[in-house]
Amino acid sequence: MTDISVRNIGRAGRITLQRPKALNAVTYEMVKAITSALAQWRDHPEVTLIVIDAEGDKAFSAGGDIADLYATGTAGNFEFGQTFWRDEYRMNAKLAEYPKPIVSFLQGFTMGGGMGVGCHGSHRIVGETSQIAMPECGIGLVPDVGGSMILAHAPGHLGAYLGTTGARMGPADAILAGFADRFIPQDHWPDLIAALQDNGDPAVLNTASETAPQGRISDLRTQIDAYFSAPDLRGVIAALQASDSDFAAETLKALLRASPLSAACTLEMMRRLRQATIREALTLEYRFTYRAMEHGDFLEGIRAAIIDKDRSPNWRHDPMRLPADAVTTMLAPLGDHELTF
């Protein structure tokens, strides 16, 4: 079995992620395969829409495959990661700007790099098991693969909360925050995919859509907006510390687990990207990820979370003593290395 299946069936271009044992983590080869397929189908007269799904019950895709990124980065080779992220971001832009409908079915975990594959299309379907998140700050990155744009466009200050804490969104929360479009019970999905292949018309989704079960975030928006309206990381922490609510305590604990540099940069990105296009967001993300191995907390974050699993990262900065220029340095233009499309 290959990691990804790309084929034409009826009126649909089909992409299926096929690494269920690895929670369909996105590899560089998968990025290249998706990019190639999108180019092939763009002007194909018989392909009227794209359907993206994944094998397994646990995850559409729980993120990017970071094993090679860690191995090359710890060996002092930062170029592999820079190339991976550059080509992945170009793929994200192609998905977001695609001229034909893209229908994605997002069961289980959809996180990080998986979000970049599944959440930029025109019709993003969630079901009972869907859990969407951008947990990058916990491993020393920032919400990327275009996720920063979706977060920045979310209502109020939801984006800052979701982006810095990595909080998981159930189906209703994902729709509220802009990561999904409609809830359809998962037992309907096989028949819907068959219908999409037969007639190439996403209108078949309309009759199957239902109201998603009540989410968690909608009732917390007043608190989220109060805490995350602060201008910087120190201000957000202070606002959370000043509250006696259980949610504030829970949120503070999650925020303090994140890389302070990543969280501070994420808050600044939320401010800059409120009216941004996908390309503007990806360009800003790439400035951070280009530097993340050498100058950020990425390698230490992966060590603590994935390699040694001690969950005790030694971040470069204290959250209350982050140097004033740390954020501007990580998000500064890259000159000749700036992301292009």
Active site residues per annotation? 64, 113, 136, 144
**Cα 184 from Cα 337, distance rounded (Å):** 42
The pairing of beta strand 12-17 with beta strand 182-183: unpaired
205 CB-near residues (< 8 Å, 6+ apart): 103, 123, 125, 182, 184, 192
Task: Match 């990381």 to its residue by tokens.
Answer: 233
> Given phi > 0 = left and psi -120 to 50 = alpha, else beta, which region is 141?
beta
**Cα 159 from Cα 142, distance rounded (Å):** 12
144 CB-near residues (< 8 Å, 6+ apart): 85, 89, 112, 116, 136, 282, 285, 286, 288, 289
User: Rg of the chain over CA atoms, in angstroms?
Assistant: 19
Q: What is the dihedral of CA 232, 296, 273, 337, to 10 degrees?
A: 150
**Cα 35 from Cα 31, distance rounded (Å):** 6
Ranges of H-type helices in the chain: 28-42, 67-74, 79-96, 113-118, 147-153, 158-165, 171-177, 189-199, 221-228, 233-241, 246-257, 260-272, 278-295, 298-302, 326-330
**Cα 208 from Cα 189, distance rounded (Å):** 9
Note whether 164 and 255 are within 8 A (CB).
yes
* Pair of tokens at residue 45: 């007269």
